Structure 1
Amino acid sequence: MTTVDQSTVVAPVEEFAGRMVSVLNNACTALLLSVGHQTGLFDVMADMPAATGARIAETAGLDERYVREWLGAMTVSGIVDYDADAETYRLPPEHAACLTRAAGPSNIARTMGVVSMMGEVEPKIVDCFRDGGGLAYSDYPRFHDYMAEESAAVSDSALVDVIVPMVPGLPDRLRAGIDVADIGCGRGHAINVMAAAYPASRFTGYDFSAEALEAARTEAKQLGLTNVNFVVQDVAELAASEAYDLITAFDAIHDQAHPAQVLSAIARGLRKHGVFLMVDIQASSHLEDNREHPFGSFLYTVSTLHCMSVSLGLGGDGLGTVWGEQLAQSMLRDAGFTETDVQHVEADPFNSYFVARKGS
């Protein structure tokens, strides 16, 4: 009879159990990191020396009891430093660099809000596992708020100075005046930023959410923009033909109901020598290549609980968040683009930047 060394069985089990406990603790920390962002606690603490919980709560204009409990979680998770003798808390500057609004695109606390947002639809997604189908955008009441803030962080810091110059000669063309469309523009911040930077060009934002476009128009009015227009449109049915010199899509293609149709409509909408600038998720189309992806679990989770689901909810293809660069380039070719250059931006670790052109 073969004797099994129980230590060879117990050790891996204990190791995995420990990993699961870490996952649980980290998930809980993620929720409270989001709370810290939404309440402004990280921004307040970044500008303060070590202080008591009462002083931090007073400065932030928040309830002391809740702040004290939140600080307990931030202490045991190693986010803030705690001086037991003085009973004071301090946010180290190297942590503030990843957790405050001043950090711009590097603010990971903002992204933690996705955890709670996805948790809100968990029961409905469980039903989808059993019954198929998907959810509607209306099932995610905070989605446009989150995307607007996330988009603003990148657009404000990099769109005009880093992203637009990826296309040779594009800044000069925009300054001279061209026609631009943004597909799936949401609340329109990115296109409003471009419209403000390039007043000689003409901009049109397309989205099927009337509510989001109303927010886009409000922002454009506040900025005094007269060269931007927003249209409620199912972009898969976009009928424009050779109407634009530049078409952009910021993180908007992979969750379309029929992304191949959208890409074909974009290709038809471009004039000769026109350019399609597509910003979408930076990943491989091959699962095995994503094992070491720094945001791999996050991306597949968001796909399951949002991007894939909203596409399926519209009777769509359910492409998913992690469609990957290889499939993206293949679909661009099928849509009629003969030249595609893929670039990356240090300030935006989530996305790849595709510069696509049609043949002459």
Structure 2
Amino acid sequence: MAAPIDEAKLNAFVGKMLGDLGGAMSVPTVRLGVRLGLFDALATGPATSAELAQRAGGLHERYVREWAMAQAANGYVGFDPASREFSLSPEQAMVFHHADSPVYLVAAYEMVAAMVEAEPKVEECFRNGTGVRWGDHAGCLFCATGAFFRPGYVNHIVQTWIPALDGVEAKLHAGIRVADIGCGVGFSTLLMAQAYPQSQFTGYDFHAPSIEEARRHALAHGLADRVQFEVATAKEVPGRDFDLVTMYDCLHDMGDPRGCAKHMREILAPDGCWMIVEPMAGNRPEDNLNPVGRLYYNASTMICVPTSLDQEVGEGLGAQAGEPKLAEVIRDGGFAHVRRAADGPFNMVLEAR
């Protein structure tokens, strides 16, 4: 016999679903607004749809009007019924306009679009247990991922994460050798290089197109003379006696994170430090049933786990592995000391020696 329906619970759940569906349907319109410069144009001051269309380079007013009403319904822009003007508040601008804001989130919409595009590939993984090679997911996922993490790196690597490591910042100012492994398109490597000009940095990633993009960034920022980018898997990074090894949001994506940890121990100098930045997660799965865990579990289903299962071993830690599991993996590599050096809403920073 079917359980009776609680109308109040049903209505509440349908209300939640309407909110979720509205958010999902906002993905293409937000992406259009970013590419067409509409959020940036609105950041200069309130405007009617006609004024906004002109301000954004002479777009078609009817489309701009519908787009602006959609964003007003989303709560992403303001709307004044009396003046018919749309506006971007300082808080909304932090998310949609200021690229160096710690909560600049427009790249997340690009990641969502890539996840939807890759859905058939991941569905096949569900059926046969295989994976999806990084770079083969869809679109420019590696570009979107780099852009998504960049605001956090801009606001935390030099300001809070590295200073939280025991004695590392002083060494960086004096001049040491650093390997940034899983560097992607190079944002993390270049931010460190800009802050610590006496040190030498090499970024490594197994994805050749990402390394090509990182080299272009290095040239554009005038850092190619002391920052190198090389293609290599984490377990095959060449060289020895690095004073600092960094990994930003990538250990959980690796097929063999324990083998990776062992190799990190081998390439570090005797008094070297390994800094591991990973997504924030609780110690138990039920601790992650929250808005941040929701984002990470969904992204992990579509990106992180398929990436790991495509590689050798295929441990599939997932983006919500949690500190105890990560510490276990790190200690299996031969590290005696693992501690949480810093954390925030989106990331935790582990220090291993």
> Do they superpose with TM above 0.5?
yes
Is the counterpart of residue 24 in structure 1 residue 26 in structure 2? no
Q: Report the counterpart of residue 50 of structure 2 in structure 1.
A: 54
Change (3 A) 1:274 1:160: same
Q: Report the counterpart of residue 149 of structure 2 in structure 1.
A: 151
Whole-Å separation in 2 of the counterparts to 1:307 and 1:180: 26
Amino acid at match of 2:47: A
Amino acid at match of 1:267: R
Amino acid at match of 2:140: R
How many pairs were matched up?
Answer: 349
Amino acid at match of 2:347: N
Deviation at 1:112, TM superposition (A): 3.0
Q: How does 1:231-310 map to 2 (within 5 A)?
A: 231-238=230-237, 240-241=239-240, 243-291=241-289, 293-310=290-307
Residue of structure 1 aligned with 2:308, choices 301, 307, 311 = 311
- Give the 3-state SS of the residue equivalent to 2:346 in structure 1: strand
Q: Report the counterpart of residue 205 of structure 1 in structure 2.
A: 203
Deviation at 1:239, TM superposition (A): 5.1
The answer as to whether partners of 1:267 and 1:337 remain within 8 angstroms in 2 is yes
Q: Report the counterpart of residue 170 of structure 1 in structure 2.
A: 168
Amino acid at match of 1:199: P
Amino acid at match of 1:166: A
Deviation at 1:31, TM superposition (A): 4.1
Q: Report the counterpart of residue 335 of structure 1 in structure 2.
A: 333
Whole-Å separation in 2 of the counterparts to 1:82 and 1:97: 18
Bigger Cα displacement from structure 2, 155-164 vs 307-316: 155-164
Whole-Å separation in 2 of the counterparts to 1:160 and 1:134: 35
Whole-Å separation in 1 of the counterparts to 2:54 and 2:274: 49
Amino acid at match of 1:96: A
Residue of structure 2 aligned with 1:196, choices 191, 194, 197 = 194
Whole-Å separation in 2 of the counterparts to 1:205 and 1:81: 42
The answer as to whether partners of 1:175 and 1:200 remain within 8 angstroms in 2 is yes
Whole-Å separation in 2 of the counterparts to 1:231 and 1:286: 37
The answer as to whether partners of 1:263 and 1:332 remain within 8 angstroms in 2 is yes
- Give the 3-state SS of the residue equivalent to 1:355 in structure 2: strand
Q: How does 1:102-117 map to 2 (within 5 A)?
A: 102=99, 104-117=101-114
The answer as to whether partners of 2:100 and 2:154 remain within 8 angstroms in 1 is no
Whole-Å separation in 1 of the counterparts to 2:85 and 2:194: 45
The answer as to whether partners of 2:288 and 2:320 remain within 8 angstroms in 1 is no
Deviation at 1:149, TM superposition (A): 1.9
The answer as to whether partners of 1:36 and 1:109 remain within 8 angstroms in 2 is no
- Give the 3-state SS of the residue equivalent to 2:251 in structure 1: coil
Q: Which runs of 5+ in 1 are unaligned?
A: none
The answer as to whether partners of 2:242 and 2:272 remain within 8 angstroms in 1 is yes
CA RMSD of aligned residues (A): 2.3
Change (3 A) 1:120 1:167: same
Q: Which runs of 5+ in 2 are unaligned?
A: none
Deviation at 1:246, TM superposition (A): 0.3
User: Which deviations, in whole Å up to 9, do the C-alpha atoms of 1:192-224 show, x marking residues without a partner?
Assistant: 222233232221111112221122222222333
The answer as to whether partners of 1:110 and 1:150 remain within 8 angstroms in 2 is yes
Identity over the aligned pairs, expressed in percent?
35
Whole-Å separation in 2 of the counterparts to 1:194 and 1:230: 14
Q: Report the counterpart of residue 348 of structure 2 in structure 1.
A: 352
Whole-Å separation in 1 of the counterparts to 2:113 and 2:3: 43
User: Which deviations, in whole Å up to 9, do the C-alpha atoms of 1:113-146 show, x marking residues without a partner?
Assistant: 3221211111222222222212122223322211
Change (3 A) 1:219 1:5: closer
- Give the 3-state SS of the residue equivalent to 1:322 in structure 2: coil
Change (3 A) 1:285 1:142: farther
Whole-Å separation in 1 of the counterparts to 2:229 and 2:337: 29
Q: Report the counterpart of residue 79 of structure 1 in structure 2.
A: 76
Q: Report the counterpart of residue 8 of structure 2 in structure 1.
A: 11
Bigger Cα displacement from structure 2, 294-303 vs 220-229: 220-229
Whole-Å separation in 1 of the counterparts to 2:3 and 2:153: 58
Whole-Å separation in 2 of the counterparts to 1:300 and 1:228: 34
Deviation at 1:110, TM superposition (A): 3.2
Is the counterpart of residue 94 in structure 1 residue 91 in structure 2? yes
- Give the 3-state SS of the residue equivalent to 1:54 in structure 2: helix
Q: Report the counterpart of residue 32 of structure 2 in structure 1.
A: 35
Whole-Å separation in 2 of the counterparts to 1:311 and 1:295: 21
- Give the 3-state SS of the residue equivalent to 1:159 in structure 2: helix
Bigger Cα displacement from structure 2, 305-314 vs 63-72: 63-72
